[in-house]
Structure 1
């Protein structure tokens, strides 16, 4: 059985479909996907800097 979406999320999707055309909806979702990917890269970059910064402290 597939879990149901919360009622609020479902309502927001309905409102979105009424207010935005298909192209605008796709553009907004693509933009949000880019934001999420940028945030993930930033977290990974910060982690790499922490690891490399910690490793440099152990050099003779």
Structure 2
């Protein structure tokens, strides 16, 4: 069974078309210096970790049968 390939790869071009992620990473490397890239990735990793902890906390509250605490209001 033949697989469907992009025309570029079939015609001996530079290979398969880049993925969206690859293209975004290439643009990022052009626009941001190494330190800025590292800081942005560290910040995003922190956001994802906070979300994971929030899901874990909600699951623990559900298992223990307690209602989630209301978020603190900022003034």
Q: Normalized against structure 2, the TM-score is what?
A: 0.62
Number of residues of Structure 1 aligned to a counterpart in Structure 2: 49
Q: Over aligned residue pairs, what C-alpha RMSD do you find?
A: 1.3
Runs of at least 4 residues of structure 1 off by over 4 A? none
| 5+ long unaligned stretches in structure 1 | 1-5, 55-60
| 5+ long unaligned stretches in structure 2 | 1-17, 67-75
1:35 aligns to 2:47 (yes or no): yes
Render the CA deviation track for 1:4-60: whole Å, top value 9, x for unaligned.
xx6111110000000000000000000000000000000000000001117xxxxxx
* Higher RCO structure, 1 or 2 (CA under 8 Å, sep 6+): 1
Q: Normalized against structure 1, the TM-score is what?
A: 0.77
Bigger helix share: 1
- Bigger Rg over Cα: 2
